[in-house]
Amino acid sequence: MFIDTHMHEMTYSPDSFLKLEEMVRIGKEKGLGALCITDHDSMGLKDYAAEYTARTGFPIFVGIEFYSLQGDIVAFGIEDYPKERIPAQDFIDLVKAQGGVCFAAHPFRNNNRGLEENLAMVRGLDGVEVLNGSTSFAACMKAAAYARQYGYFTLGSSDCHVPEKVGVCATYFPNEVRTMDEFLTEFKKGQMKPAYYVQGGYRVLEVQNNDKKVQNSIKIPFTFPARSDSMYL
């Protein structure tokens, strides 16, 4: 099952141009089995997403992209979150205290919103986004290297704000998930893998290979954004 684990909907992410219904339509066309809405410092779409899932049967998991003092962290499985910026470690600790999971979003994007070298210092972080559809190839490869070095789970996400980005990267889950509890259970197992969309389907990226093999496996078929990294948060 492929899930886009980092997406922005316009209701609570002012920099997005996407409504949920359009995101689902495009996601289904690409073969996604669920979507994750991770708006900037907000989980405001949670009630509407739950109603949409109940009405359509298509799973929408609502998390948050929280802008900590050291950079963006995506979290799921929490009810409470800070209304102001706090240190990354404090946010991770808060997520863990609520039984949630979290991963570093675009840790090496060149807009000063990634954790960068803090990946080596924080404790309790579950994973790293090693494929981000709105981040440069070099930044993604550096994230993959850090994930390998420090043993983080690896994920892929579109980080979409516009229609053409929906589902360009996603995460492969070996088991189907239909509820947030199932999503969290599978996430904590750490068996998911990043994937990218090409030629009408998804290809899984094996990050455990050495860096050269990882680079060669996606350099040709996957098109990273031609625009500046800093266009998207």
15/25 Cα distance (integer angstroms)? 20
CATH number where 75 lies: 3.20.20.140
- Residue 230's pLDDT band (cuts 50, 70, 90): very low
Q: What is the dihedral of CA 70, 76, 82, 83, to 10 degrees?
A: 100
Residues 65-119: tens digit of each pLDDT:
999 999 999 999 999 999 999 999 999 999 999 999 999 999 999 998 999 999 9
Q: Domain range holding 106?
A: 2-231
Query: Tokens in use for 172?
Result: 């492969």
21/100 Cα distance (integer angstroms)? 26
Supply the mean pLDDT for the chain: 91
* The residue type at 90: D
Other Cβ atoms within 10 Å of 115 Cβ, number: 24
Residues 128-161: tens digit of each pLDDT:
999 999 999 999 999 999 999 999 999 999 999 9
Residues 4-17: tens digit of each pLDDT:
999 999 999 999 99
Q: What pLDDT shows up at residue 151?
A: 94
* CA distance between the termini of the chain: 26
Other Cβ atoms within 10 Å of 61 Cβ, number: 23
Taking Cα atoms as reference points, which of 49, 44, 36 lies closest to residue 7? Answer: 36
pTM of the model: 0.90
Q: What pLDDT shows up at residue 106?
A: 98
Q: What pLDDT shows up at residue 206?
A: 87
| pLDDT at 213 > cutoff 50 | no
Contact 193, 122 (CB under 8 A): no
7/159 Cα distance (integer angstroms)? 5
Other Cβ atoms within 10 Å of 145 Cβ, number: 18
Residues 163-204: tens digit of each pLDDT:
999 999 999 999 999 999 999 999 999 999 999 999 999 999
Alpha helices in the chain (DSSP H): 20-30, 46-56, 88-97, 137-150, 180-189, 211-219
User: What's the number of domains the chain is made of?
Assistant: 1
